[in-house]
Amino acid sequence: MSSDAPVPLSKNSVALPRTAVPLGIGDPVEQARTELKAALAAIEEKANVPRRVERVLDERIEQARAFNRRNPALTAVAVIAGAAAIGAAVWGFVRLYTR
């Protein structure tokens, strides 16, 4: 039932986002239905945490790929430094745990 596609208008050629209410609806019942539909879409958009996390992760992955294309040597250094930091943290935790 949910979709990211904008809702096309029959009167205009402009498509609105799912959370927008078009202007100029004369019928109060139709206006209320449209407002309710937009409110439910906004709640769904706000409450759907996995989709929001997926969007943020996709943006971050794209940023990392762009950084890698611009400067591959610095990316390699960052990956090696990150792996060394994680390894040192695990080693330190295990050492503290075994003592």
**Where do the structural domains in the chain lie, given as residue ranges?**
7-47, 50-98
The Cα–Cα gap between 45 and 51 comes to 8
Tell me which residue has tokens 């695990």: 90
pTM of the model: 0.53
Q: What is the pLDDT of residue 7?
A: 56
Whole-angstrom distance, CA of residue 47 vs CA of residue 53 = 11
The residue-averaged pLDDT of 16-42 equals: 79
Average pLDDT of 45-49? 87
Quote the tokens at residue 27.
């019928």
Across 68-92, average pLDDT: 97
Lowest-confidence segment of 7-11, 45-49, 60-64, 83-87 by average pLDDT: 7-11
As a whole number of angstroms, the distance between CA 35 and CA 16 comes to 13
Measure the CA–CA gap between 96 and 81, rounded to whole angstroms: 22
